[in-house]
Structure 1
Amino acid sequence: MNALRPRSAMPRRTAEQAPLPGAPLGPPRLLKSAGFRFAVLFAAMFACAAVALVAVLWWATAGALDRQTDAAVRADAVALTERWREAGVTGLAEAIEERLAVDVENESIYLLMEAEGNRRLAGNLDRWPPNMAPEVAWFRTRVLHDGLAAEARLHRVDLPGLRLLVGRDESERSQLRRLLTEGVVWASSAVAIFALIGAWLIRAALQARMRPTFLTTAAIAGGDLSSRVALSGREDEFDRLAQTLNMMLDRIGTLMEGVRGVSDAIAHDLRTPIARARAKLEDALATAPDAEALRAAVEQGIADLDNISRIFQALLRIAEAEAGARRAAFGPFDLAAVLADAAEIYEAMAEARGQRLTAELPPSLDIIGDRDLLLQAVANLLDNAIKFTPADGVITLTARRLGLAIEVAVADNGPGIAPEDRRHAGERFFRADKARATPGSGLGLSLVQAVAHLHAGEVRLEDAMPGQVPPGLRVVMRLPAP
């Protein structure tokens, strides 16, 4: 037997991490709640969408009005400049007066002055607006035109010896802009309120959907392993999570039942050989006529204890295989050579019992796995076949590659296993009625099944000779090929 590696210690929770005994489990605090984070994310996304919508509306309304005003002022200034080039100062002044005469809405603003001095030549402004930087061509300011104060958008044009202002009265546009601003403020307030309400609803919905899972896990933490997560019937992500949790809990329940069954089986199956070994040793100690008889009794007791030790070693190997602790020993090797070695070892044992063991193996069979465990699994199958095959019986070991799988089979012409017992054959310490009189512990097929599962394979039991009596048994171990 190979020495078993000690398992690494499981990390333990510190006192700060572990909940206090008897402390009630409650929902997470607000800032640590996933529902709160989802709600905040929803509110942020909703607010960003609302801000983007308001920005687009502003650009399409107030921004469009400003662009239209600037375009109209620029076109007017270009036209007046062309008029000045054609007709001089007099023509420019006449053009300004004509425009003012046809301005029914009284929105146009003009002022033509000499570059030096403050003499006004034309326009509806009394004086040049103060605090105007010479290098700035566009600006907004309050002006008096026709005796009324107004917000104006003005464009300055410098001509040789002249200063020209062209603009538009923006009083109505400013009022519209203020109305839009108030609307944006009110809309933003409504957006914030709706975002908060939506966030609260999302958090409440998440908590409501997660409540069955929380209650079930709390009940399980309290010791009620029969509790399961209730399904809503909507077949959404939460229901799929609940189904997965329920399957996990069913699996845990099955494993717990298996642990209890194994514990009972160990207590039952090991009590007898231990008691027998103790009784033999006590009897020999009290009644042995000589040292030779005492030595024989001691040797028999050692043999019984060795058998018990082998049972425990088999259990540890099964536990290692089921826990995946042997995956570190995986590597590429030739399975055909391993099977040939096993056949050579057990051929002599079969001949000693008057049986014949044949092997039908390919020249090579590359695989990736644990060589020692696979050898032990095949050895268990051959050992079982030899035990249950009568004298003059035939045992066959075969292996072949089928596509993406490797199939190893051991067949015999013994009594076989009844179909109703095959689903229990992989359970620890299970022995069919026909095997009660045969020495063994009922762990051979359990180890084979655990090794196959460790290698992502499966074990199948079937009749070796269907329709005949006895039907024999064929055990097939199917493993994935590299």
Structure 2
Amino acid sequence: MFAIAAIALVAVLWWATAGALDRQTDAAVRADAIALAERWREAGTSGLAEAIEERLAVDVENESIYLLMDAEGTRRIAGNLDGWPRGQTDGVPWFRTRVIHDGLAVDARLHRLELPGLRLLVGRDETERSELRRLLTEGVVWASGAVLVFALMGAWLIRHALQARMGPVFATTAAIAGGDLASRVTLSGRGDEFDRLAQTLNAMLDRIASLMEGVRGVSDAIAHDLRTPIARARAKLEDALATSADGESLRAVVEQGIADLDGISRIFQALLRIAEAEAGARRAAFAPFDLAPVLADAAEIYEATAEARGQRMLTDLPERLDLVGDRDLLLQAVANLLDNAIKFTPPGGTVQLAARRTPEGIEVTVADNGPGLAPEDRAHAGERFFRADKARATPGSGLGLSLVRAVAHLHGGEVLLEDAAPARPQPGLRAVVRLPRA
């Protein structure tokens, strides 16, 4: 790029100098020829010859060339050339050739003008201009060569600098490819684009490590938490097969086993939804929609459950909340929050669902007045299969908040957990889902 730009600049300079000299010479010769043709019209052949001799007399630099001959080219009438240049055919008005001028062979730029019964040549000696053009051309060639040398040196230096700056990135990626997942890109401390790239790569690697740790944690949790209900269902079925005296008792045990297996199936479905949300597989289903009726539907669904447990459901929803996202996933996330709130709220308690528009986007809040979560438990509340000590006796799989957090991250938002009423013995829990603008 540097070489092309520099050579283009040199070419423009050459055109503006050598080319300007050529154009200037042609313009002077053309004007001189037009003036001589006008003189011939006014004074005839003798007046034209006198005009040529006058021009030659005042030509101090001895650059002008004139030749006036008869139509056959046999008789020279006026001018400073001995004869018509050889090799020049009729019908070519402009040409360059070598002529004998003052006893010397010189380069000349000539213009042929046909007059009735006459031949007229008007031109200029280009010896000095040719020498200047030659010097300019040599300068252009040398300058272009120097530009290429500097361009190659600059390319080598830039490549060397880029390789030096990208060396830590190459080393880190090679180490990770070799199995060292703890390796990170070293920052230079300059704060430039390469450091920002390194920070982004390190953040990506930290995220990958976190996801892999989550996968290992899920595998361990599945192995431990699902082994018990599967073993229990199998034991019940084996016991019923061996001891059931009639069909009714056997049917009851089979139905219980089916219910246990349905619970295991629901856990796997929840894990699948969480994995899809974290991988971004559901982002293709994003579309503009109004979140307000979705929240109203969720409140209506769980209001009956709250009334059956002696609780109150309060809502504070605006008329419209325009959003771009996955409607079904957001409905599932709000439903999980409401289900948890109802589950941990004592009889006579209150569950609140509220939403509002903020300068950053939309904020959805679900609050209850149950026992709440200890600060040390909130840091693990979004982990799969995590259950606080207070929730061990409550039915559930520990995947509800994991799905809520995954859905919020899929939409570019976040989930905050805080005390609903810190001053009370039962502080409750307030779950805030913040979703950014589309």
Fold match (TM-score > 0.5) = yes
In the TM superposition, what is the alpha-carbon distance from 1:290 to its structure 2 partner?
Answer: 7.2
Structure 1 position 248, deviation (Å): 0.8
Answering whether residue 356 of structure 2 is matched by residue 397 of structure 1, we say: no
Residue 388 of structure 1 and its aligned partner are, at CA, apart by 2.6
Distance change in 2, residues 1:143/1:349 (3 Å): same
1:247 deviates by 0.9
Secondary structure in 2 aligned to 1:61? Answer: helix
Q: Residue in 1 aligned with 2:311?
A: 356
Aligned equivalent of 2:138, options 182, 186, 189:
182
* 1:383 Cα offset (Å): 3.3
Query: What is the alpha-carbon distance in structure 2 between the residues aligned to residue 373 and residue 161 of structure 1?
Result: 100
Within 5 Å, give how 1:76-475 maps onto structure 2.
Answer: 76-81=32-37, 83-84=39-40, 88-116=44-72, 118-281=74-237, 298-327=254-283, 328=285, 332=289, 334-350=293-309, 355-360=310-315, 362=317, 372-390=328-346, 392-403=347-358, 407-475=363-431
Are residues 360 and 224 of structure 1, via their aligned partners in 2, closer, same or farther at CA, if it must alter by over 3 Å? same
The one-letter amino acid of 2:149's match is: I
Conserved 8 A contact 1:156-1:165: yes
Question: Aligned partner of 1:446: which letter?
Answer: S
Check 1:431–1:135 CA distance in 2 against 1; reply closer, same or farther (3 A cut). Answer: same
CA distance in 2, matches of 1:236, 1:83: 75
Q: Distance in 1 between matches of 2:170 and 2:312?
A: 59
Q: Corresponding residue for 1:30?
A: none
Judged with a 3 Å threshold, the aligned counterparts in structure 2 of structure 1 residues 69 and 358 are, in CA distance, closer, same or farther, namely closer
Alpha-carbon distance in structure 1 between the residues aligned to 2:140 and 2:363: 74
Bigger shift: 416-425 or 158-167?
Answer: 158-167
Shift of 1:286: 5.9
Q: Which amino acid aligns with 2:315?
A: E
C-alpha contact 1:155 1:166 (8 A) present in aligned 2: yes
Whether 1:49 aligns to 2:5 is yes
Partner in structure 2 of residue 9 of structure 1: none
CA distance in 2, matches of 1:47, 1:426: 58
* C-alpha spacing 1:313/1:161, structure 2 compared with 1 (3 Å): closer
Q: CA deviation at 1:251?
A: 0.5
**Whole-angstrom CA distance in 1 between matches of 2:45 and 2:200:** 90
Q: Offset at 1:453?
A: 3.5
In terms of mean alpha carbon deviation, does 422-431 or 96-105 score higher?
Answer: 96-105
Distance 1:112 1:417, change over 3 A: same
Equivalent position of 1:58 in the other structure: 14
Contact 2:345 2:351 in 1 (8 A): no
Q: Distance in 2 between matches of 1:58 and 1:297?
A: 100
Distance 2:9 2:363 in 1: 66
Name which of structure 1's ranges 235-244 and 281-290 shifts more when overlaid on structure 2.
Answer: 281-290
Count of matched residue positions in the alignment of Structure 1 and Structure 2 = 433
Task: Give, in whole Å, the separation in 1 of the partners of 2:15 and 2:318.
Answer: 80
Deviations 1:27-52 (A, max 9, x none): xxxxxxxxxxxxxxx2xxx3332333
Q: TM-score normalised to the size of structure 2?
A: 0.84
Give the distance between the partners of 1:321 and 1:346, measured in 2 at CA.
28
- For 1:35, the equivalent position in structure 2 comes to none
Q: Secondary structure at the match of 1:133?
A: coil
Give the whole-Å Cα distance in 2 for the aligned partners of 1:96 and 1:153: 17
CA gap of 1:224–1:67, structure 2 versus 1, over 3 A, is same
TM-score, normalization: structure 1?
Answer: 0.77
Distance apart, 1:426 and its partner CA: 1.3
Cα deviation, 1:227-262, whole Å, max 9, x if unaligned, reads 222333333333322221111111101111111112
* Secondary structure at the counterpart of residue 155 of structure 1: strand
Structure 2 unaligned regions, length at least 5: none
Amino acid at match of 1:338: D
Name the Cα RMSD after superposition: 3.4
- Identical residues among aligned pairs (%): 76
For 1:142 and 1:110, locate their aligned partners in 2 and report how far apart those are by CA, in whole Å: 14
Q: Mark the CA change 1:302 to 1:102 in structure 2 (over 3 Å): closer, same or farther.
A: closer
Distance in 2 (alpha carbons) for counterparts of 1:76 and 1:363: 89
Q: Distance in 1 between matches of 2:397 and 2:356?
A: 32
SS at match of 1:109: strand
**Alpha-carbon distance in 2 for matches of 1:85, 1:332:** 90
Helix, strand or coil: the match of 1:57? helix
Deviation at 1:149, TM superposition (A): 1.9
**Do the aligned partners of residues 265 and 147 (structure 1) sit closer, same or farther apart at CA in structure 2, a change above 3 Å counting?**
same
- Rounded Cα–Cα distance in structure 2 between residues aligned with 1:116 and 1:331: 92
Q: Distance in 1 between matches of 2:43 and 2:357?
A: 102
